[in-house]
């Protein structure tokens, strides 16, 4: 049964230096508690999934979690769903063969699910792995020479992504466009049916590798769009006008690709997640619910 717990509840506390590295210590400590439950109940590698819309703070929390458990000598690795994007060349091929909207990374159907399953399986076998990484500034996968090397015997895998746990919608829900992008670029629904079918196929197998799933729940899609703009501004500040960096008009169109699944997740996922951390528009945790 879900149980709401106080924000100042009793958690295993991260070290002061790790706490200082995250703007959401309540969320961090709730995730630590969930990870420790997993580690205490299973031998071998366990997978903690962190699902949350763009800009919700998943990557920051995953990095802080990794630092915490590394400090306790628990071999920990991180994998982002974003790192599984198909190469630009492959997405261009999908755009030509299936639908032009698939050239834009992000939605189900634009990830290399087989690569994700193979990577997680190798880690579960205790093998050393070259983790796939995606360079958003180049809008392409990094070459193998730039891969992160993860040694063998990983005990905890932190798997984070914007649509982790997403399930396909009923076909009837796909008929009506949800925004201007769908109305103008997908009037017959072919793209959204393809995305929906991908969720029912390979992505379900990818989600099945997750032992416990946490959700960072945004207050609504309007907040998500604002968070994503902040992310892109940070990328512009860091690298300038690179091929994968978007201006405001491009970003508005880009975010529209995610709207349908983001809205569906906000309704469908909370009742299934093991942990839900509610965020306000400033990304401050305002509630924590644990499924016992």
Q: Taking each helix axis as running N to C, give the angle between helix 259-268 and helix 190-200, from 0 to 180 degrees, rounded to the nearest 10.
A: 40
When pLDDT is averaged across residues 243-271 and rounded to a whole number, the result is 87
Q: What is the pLDDT of residue 215?
A: 98
Q: Is the dihedral of CA 242, 246, 247, 249 positive or negative?
A: positive
High-pLDDT (> 90) share of the chain, %:
73
pLDDT at 70 over 70: yes
More confident residue, 131 or 14: 131
Mean pLDDT over all residues of the chain?
89
pLDDT at 3 over 70: no
High-pLDDT (> 70) share of the chain, %:
88
Contacts of 149 (CB under 8 A, 6+ apart): 128, 129, 130, 131
Q: How many residues does the chain have?
A: 292
Highest mean pLDDT among 103-107, 153-157, 218-222: 153-157
Q: What is the pLDDT of residue 5?
A: 56
Strands 275-279 and 285-291: antiparallel
Band of pLDDT at residue 281, cut at 50, 70 and 90 = very high
Single pTM value for the model: 0.88
Q: What is the pLDDT of residue 177?
A: 97
- Measured from the Cβ of residue 200, the count of other Cβ atoms closer than 10 Å reads 12
Q: Is the dihedral of CA 110, 115, 118, 123 positive or negative?
A: negative
pLDDT at 137 over 90: no
Strands 46-52 and 156-161: parallel
* C-alpha to C-alpha distance for 163 and 54, rounded to whole angstroms: 9
Asked whether 79 and 158 are in contact (CB, 8 A), the reply is yes
Residue whose token pair is 């349908």: 260
Asked whether 32 and 74 are in contact (CB, 8 A), the reply is no
Please, what is the end-to-end C-alpha distance for the chain in angstroms?
A: 6
Contacts of 38 (CB under 8 A, 6+ apart): 46, 48, 156, 211, 212
Q: Which domains does the chain have, with CATH numbers?
A: 2-291 (3.40.50.300)
When pLDDT is averaged across residues 101-130 and rounded to a whole number, the result is 96
Band of pLDDT at residue 231, cut at 50, 70 and 90 = confident
pLDDT at 46 over 70: yes
Residue whose token pair is 């639908």: 99
When pLDDT is averaged across residues 42-64 and rounded to a whole number, the result is 94
Q: Which residues pair with 140 in a beta bridge?
A: 135
Q: What is the pLDDT of residue 132?
A: 92
Q: What is the pLDDT of residue 246?
A: 72
pLDDT at 8 over 80: no
- Measured from the Cβ of residue 283, the count of other Cβ atoms closer than 10 Å reads 20
When pLDDT is averaged across residues 198-213 and rounded to a whole number, the result is 96
Band of pLDDT at residue 230, cut at 50, 70 and 90 = confident
- Helix (H) or strand (E) segment spanning residue 202: helix 202-207
Band of pLDDT at residue 21, cut at 50, 70 and 90 = low
Q: What is the pLDDT of residue 22?
A: 58
pLDDT at 15 over 70: no
Asked whether 212 and 31 are in contact (CB, 8 A), the reply is no
When pLDDT is averaged across residues 202-209 and rounded to a whole number, the result is 96
DSSP-based three-state secondary structure for 291: strand
pLDDT at 10 over 50: no
């Amino acid at each position: 049964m879900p149980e709401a717990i106080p924000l100042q509840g009793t958690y295993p506390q991260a070290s002061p230096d790790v706490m200082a590295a995250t703007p959401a210590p309540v969320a961090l400590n709730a995730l630590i508690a969930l990870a420790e439950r997993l580690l205490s109940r299973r031998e071998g590698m366990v997978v903690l999934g962190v699902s949350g819309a763009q800009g919700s703070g998943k990557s920051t929390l995953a990095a802080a979690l990794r630092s915490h458990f590394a400090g306790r000598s628990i071999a920990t690795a991180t994998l982002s769903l974003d790192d599984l994007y198909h190469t630009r060349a492959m997405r261009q091929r999908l755009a030509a063969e299936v639908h032009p909207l698939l050239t834009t990374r992000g939605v189900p159907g634009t990830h290399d699910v087989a690569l994700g399953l193979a990577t997680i399986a190798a880690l579960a076998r205790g093998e050393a792995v070259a983790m796939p990484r995606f360079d958003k500034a180049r809008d392409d996968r990094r070459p193998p020479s730039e891969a992160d090397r993860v040694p063998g015997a990983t005990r905890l895998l932190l798997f984070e992504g914007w649509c982790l746990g997403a399930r396909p919608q009923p076909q009837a829900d796909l008929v009506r466009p949800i925004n201007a992008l769908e109305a103008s670029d997908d009037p017959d629904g072919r793209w959204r049916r393809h995305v929906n079918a991908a969720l029912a196929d390979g992505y379900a197998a990818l989600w099945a590798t997750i032992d416990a799933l946490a959700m960072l729940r945004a207050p609504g899609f309007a907040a998500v769009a604002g968070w994503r703009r902040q992310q892109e501004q940070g990328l512009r500040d860091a690298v300038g006008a690179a091929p994968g960096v978007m201006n405001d008009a491009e970003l508005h169109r880009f975010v529209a690709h995610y709207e349908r699944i983001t809205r569906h997740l906000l309704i469908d996922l909370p009742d299934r997640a093991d942990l839900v951390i509610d965020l306000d528009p400033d990304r401050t945790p305002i509630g924590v619910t644990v499924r016992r």
